Amino acid sequence: MGNRHAHLNTTRPHKDGDFAEVDTQRSPYRYTVDDCARLLPEAAKTHHLVDSPELRHPFARDRARVLHSAAFRRLADKTQVVGPQAGDTPRTRLTHSLEVAQIARAIGTGLGADPDLCELAGLTHDIGHPPYGHNGEVALNELGADCGGFEGNAQTLRILGRLEPKILDEEGNSYGLNLTRAALDAACKYPWTRTNPDGSVNRKYGCYDEDLALLQFARAGHVEGSRIPPLEGQVMDFADDIAYSVHDVEDGIIAGRISLAVLWDFVELASLANRGAEVYGGSPEELLAAADRLRQLSSVIAAAEFSPTLKGLAGLKRLTSELVGRYIGATIAASNQHNEPIADRLHGQVVRPAEVQAEVTLLKTLAVLYVMDEPSHLSNQDRQRDRIARVFDFYQLTAPESLDPMFAAWFVQAENDAAKTRVIIDQIASLTETALQTVAKRAHSIASFYG
């Protein structure tokens, strides 16, 4: 987007106005003044009543900033497994993020990490997702090829540090939510850029090349070249796996697309284990052993005969609670046994017990095979990508007038075609699915008018 982010400076001094009021030692893990630094120093708040200073820790303020952000609210109208309009109680990216945040907070608390940081990492982990989730990522990555493509994780960092309107400097440059270093670091699942120093390109990455200054600020203190997320980022990553595996299977069971009776169908189960090992790693034998352990649980036995009665629904909820608790407890125990009693956020490690990992992988495979790969789901994905492409073409022809005011201003400031394309990609990624459909209808009407 041209020079509109050239103001970023990773070497400037920091001074967080609220930091002097609080204690960094909130947990057995050591957090430093550098962890609480913000890219743009903020003055102490002046709106408080007399004798009522700001007592929140910087990490608590960060969490609040995410919760109150428009980007977070928009996740309510973005696809998780099925679209937000499917059924009367669907999971969306918003509800999924809340569930990941709760699991992350529980694991982080058990490990002695800062609970607000871990929860924030969970809240932000999908905030960069465009309409239609991973399917939307594929479409935008193709459409944005000339500006470096699209990646939901990189978009997360971009939203937190640039796009979300919250903190501006004196020249009017946006610093996004201006989160602390530790918070930005925790939110980076893939802490590296799209392009490597040797010119090769990563398929998965957490930072666009043009946003390198943000990543450098977040990663200050890590060993140079390290690709290991901080403890809180590792917590978020596994919390996401737990939530995805357990809750998507729950949704699939309620929708009638998944039956846990497959755990007793040994022919189908063998195919399932082979597919899971192929996609997610591990061995088929480990996944078959995981199925054997799950068959011993009374809640799994009951869920295998699920019916949407009061008893059936309550039993299914008991299953999800037991599985989440099972995986949280085992992860905390294994990680605490491995880690030093006192460590900092840069050196702690989340240990995924092999048995837990195998069970999570098996459940994820169930969701992929019986929901994601269902023919009707795949057909709908084709229509979604076509809709995004139509909106992209519309914006290219009509920008900046058709863009939201914030994006229109950035479009005008863009120095070249690639920068203008990035603004359009940012605009589309920010839309809810309802808003995207509205723009697509408008684009179709204009196209029809002009033949």
**pLDDT tens digits for 300-343?**
999 999 999 999 999 999 999 999 999 999 999 999 998 876 56
Q: According to DSSP H, which parts of 144-265 are helical?
A: 152-158, 181-187, 212-219, 231-254
Least confident of 45-54, 224-233, 285-294, 314-323: 45-54
- Write down the pLDDT at residue 158: 98
Does pTM top 0.85 for this prediction? yes
- Write down the pLDDT at residue 445: 78
Q: Is it the case that residue 126 has pLDDT exceeding 50?
A: yes
36 and 180 in contact (C-beta within 8 Å)? yes
Length of the chain: 451
Residue 282 backbone class (left: φ over 0; alpha: ψ -120 to 50; beta: rest) = left
- Write down the pLDDT at residue 335: 95
Average pLDDT over residues 190-197: 97
Average pLDDT over residues 394-416: 97
Average pLDDT over residues 373-390: 82
User: 218: closest CA among 204, 210, 207?
Assistant: 207
64 and 116 in contact (C-beta within 8 Å)? no
Confidence of residue 4 (pLDDT cuts 50, 70, 90): very low
Contacts of 279 by beta carbon, 8 Å cutoff, 6+ apart: 365, 368
Buried b vs exposed e over 132-157: b needs ≥16 C-beta within 10 Å?
bbebbbbbbbebbeebbbbbbbbbbb
The mean pLDDT of the chain is 89
- Write down the pLDDT at residue 24: 45
Confidence of residue 370 (pLDDT cuts 50, 70, 90): confident
Average pLDDT over residues 6-22: 40
Query: If you compute the radius of gyration of the chain from its CA atoms, what whole number of angstroms results?
Result: 23
Kindly state the greatest CA–CA separation across the chain. 71
Number of other residues whose CB lies within 10 A of the CB of residue 51: 5
Q: Is it the case that residue 135 has pLDDT exceeding 90?
A: yes
- Write down the pLDDT at residue 27: 56
357 CB-contact burial (10 Å; exposed 0-12 / middle 13-18 / buried 19+)? buried
Average pLDDT over residues 276-287: 95
Confidence of residue 398 (pLDDT cuts 50, 70, 90): very high
Confidence of residue 83 (pLDDT cuts 50, 70, 90): very low
Confidence of residue 111 (pLDDT cuts 50, 70, 90): very high
User: 354: closest CA among 362, 343, 346?
Assistant: 362
- Write down the pLDDT at residue 49: 62
Q: Which long-range contacts (CB under 8 A, 24 or more apart) does 7-15 make?
A: 7/169, 7/171, 7/173, 8/39, 8/213, 8/214, 8/217, 9/39, 9/213, 10/39, 10/213, 10/216, 10/217, 10/220, 12/39, 12/41, 13/41, 14/38, 14/39, 14/41, 15/41
Q: How far is CA 58 from the centre of its chain?
A: 21
Q: Is it the case that residue 14 has pLDDT exceeding 70?
A: no
User: 1: closest CA among 196, 218, 174?
Assistant: 174
Most confident of 48-52, 76-80, 255-259: 255-259
336 and 231 in contact (C-beta within 8 Å)? no
CA distance linking residue 186 with residue 300, whole number of Å: 34
